[in-house]
Chain A
């Protein structure tokens, strides 16, 4: 699991790649988002285009991260879901919770 963080204006885009599974992958997301929040970042986009595997703990981590960011007055949006992540979110009704975008510019613009 690798996460590269970049900023587009005041939006933090986290490019995730690899596996989001119990342990290393879930911790990586948690720690990176925590760092962004600590630095005052409130607008966060998780780019999941290069995530080739996710398990239920990974889905749980997305939910938990969403709650953490929201509780701290921020917003978390998801970008470029793979077909499999989309299916896992859909069958557990989580597509109703997250704001999901296929286009990065659109995701960035959605915060303003």
Chain B
């Protein structure tokens, strides 16, 4: 784990066992920033969902590939980047979990939850390959 004045970076291998570690780091940061309990919970869940996707769907559990998580703490917001080394995907191609035909599908809700709980969410393909999820939560939107 690397830290600078307001930046915390965590790099993990592509194993689901690291999810609790990332969750703990996220919980420490949101607590430090003074987010209320509910907002902190939803931020933690959004990071967990992003990292799960990066490990499972991005890097396809390939232990040689990494997932990088970067938190930037600002006075009025928390910014988070999650990067994988996979083949990427087109976010527009994802099925809408609210469509009646998708309602009973067992998967496909993670990104919907992230978009519901964070103030800004962007998905970008990286020039070196892989995907980056960029999320922002404003302190004032607590």
Interface string of A10-50 (1 = CB under 8 A from B): 00000000000111000000000000000000000000000
A59 engages B103 (CB within 8 Å): no
Q: Within 8 Å CB of A59, what residues of B?
A: 109
Cross-chain contact B41 with A56 (CB below 8 angstroms): no
CA separation between A1 and B103, bound complex, in Å? Answer: 26
Contacts of A6 in B (CB 8 A): none
Q: With A23-B16, A55-B52, A93-B98 in contact, do A84 and B103 touch (Cβ < 8 Å)?
A: no
Please report the C-alpha to C-alpha distance between residue A97 and residue B110 in the assembled complex, in whole angstroms.
Answer: 19
A residues near B52, Cβ cutoff 8 Å: 22, 55-57
B41 touches A60 (CB 8 A): no
Q: Are B106 and A64 in contact (CB under 8 A)?
A: yes
Q: How far is the CA of A23 from the CA of B38 in the complex (A)?
A: 24
Closest Cβ of chain A to B21, distance in Å, is 13
Contact partners of A96 in chain B: CB under 8 A: 103
CB distance from B15 to the nearest CB of A (A): 11
Query: Does B24 sit within 8 A of A, measured CB to CB?
Result: no
Nearest chain B CB to A81 CB, angstrom units: 15
Contact A92 B98 (CB under 8 A): yes
Please name all residues of chain B whose beta carbon is closer than 8 Å to the beta carbon of A67 when the two chains form the complex: 104, 106
A92 contacts B109, C-beta separation under 8 Å: yes
**Is the beta-carbon distance between A92 and B106 smaller than 8 angstroms?**
no
Quote the shortest CB–CB distance from B84 to chain A (angstroms).
16
Query: Chain B binding site: helix, strand, loop or mixed by DSSP?
Result: helix
In the complex, whether B116 has a CB less than 8 A from a CB of chain A is yes
* Cα distance, A67 to B107, chains bound together (Å): 13
Q: Is the CB of A21 within 8 A of B19?
A: yes
B106 touching A60, Cβ below 8 Å: yes
Does A22 contact B16, Cβ atoms closer than 8 Å? yes
Contacts of B41 in A (CB 8 A): 84
Taking a contact as CB atoms under 8 Å apart, the answer to whether B116 and A93 are in contact is no
A3 within 8 A of partner (CB)? no
The list of the 5 closest CB pairs from A to B, nearest first, reads A64-B106, A60-B106, A56-B110, A56-B109, A60-B107
Known: A97-B103, A97-B104. 16 other contacts (CB 8 A): A21-B48, A22-B56, A55-B45, A55-B49, A55-B110, A56-B52, A57-B107, A57-B110, A60-B107, A60-B108, A60-B109, A63-B106, A84-B38, A91-B113, A92-B97, A92-B109
